[in-house]
Amino acid sequence: MAVNYLKELRSFYDYSLYNGVSTGEVALWYTLMAINNRLGWLDEFAVNNSILQQLTALSKSGLDYARNGLKQRGLIDYLPGRGNRPGKYRMISFDGNISDTVLDTMPDIVRTQNLALSGHNTGPLYNKELNKQKLKHKREDSPCVPPSARKYGEYQNVLLSDGELDKLKSEFPSDWAARIERLSEYIASSGKKYRSHLATIRSWARKDASAHKGAAQGYPPSYDLAQLEAQGLVVPDFDGKEGQG
């Protein structure tokens, strides 16, 4: 029985961290692994309950409970002894079984991170999961590109479909092109990303109308930097030094 001891310990740590393994189960699993390690990794080995109770500090009922828990989880196999004979144990390796124990029970993002950090590589299953996570985050970071979208603006970074462009021209017949350029310049200068460029232009238009209405009613201008930025206004950085008059 060829076993990578360190890899098994790491796998069990990952598994117990996300699957509510009891302290008794943890103590028994580590004890059985240590015993089998001393025996040279046998496929099957026997050990008395009294020895296990001494090494794990578990009561008889606690030992029974922990052993049954590990068996139900598929981490060990156990054959009770007859008469005065000790029971026999078989350790079920995580290697080759990790997809059934760790992968299916961890949260998606934690799953791949822990496998990468602990050195696990389960072949096609692991690579498929990792690629799925990369694609998921790439989609979250990317704008919601409509079908047949074209690039507009001076910096070719405003994405609009033909239908969205027609809506933009209809809603802002006099300055639709200027609004595209405004967004294009802001994206290029700030590095910000938006899920929908049409929705962003519409949002800025509503804020512009609200600001103009407030100014017409005599309200003081806004000095809220976040609000100015939301309106597409680039706020310059200052070095904090006072000007010399």
Note down pLDDT in tens along the chain; length 245 residues.
Answer: 567 888 899 889 888 888 889 999 999 999 999 999 999 889 999 999 999 999 999 999 999 999 999 999 899 999 998 888 999 999 998 875 544 444 444 444 344 444 444 444 444 444 554 455 555 555 544 555 666 788 999 989 999 998 999 999 999 999 999 999 999 898 888 888 888 999 999 998 888 887 766 556 555 555 455 555 555 555 444 444 444 43
pTM of the model: 0.43
> How are beta strands 87-91 and 150-152 bridged, if at all?
unpaired
Burial code (b: 16+ CB inside 10 Å, e: under 16) for 36-56 equals beeeeeeeebebebeebeebb
Share in percent of the chain as helix, strand, coil (round to 5): 55, 5, 35
Greatest extent of the chain over all pairs of C-alpha atoms, in Å: 100
How many Å is the Cα radius of gyration of the chain? 32
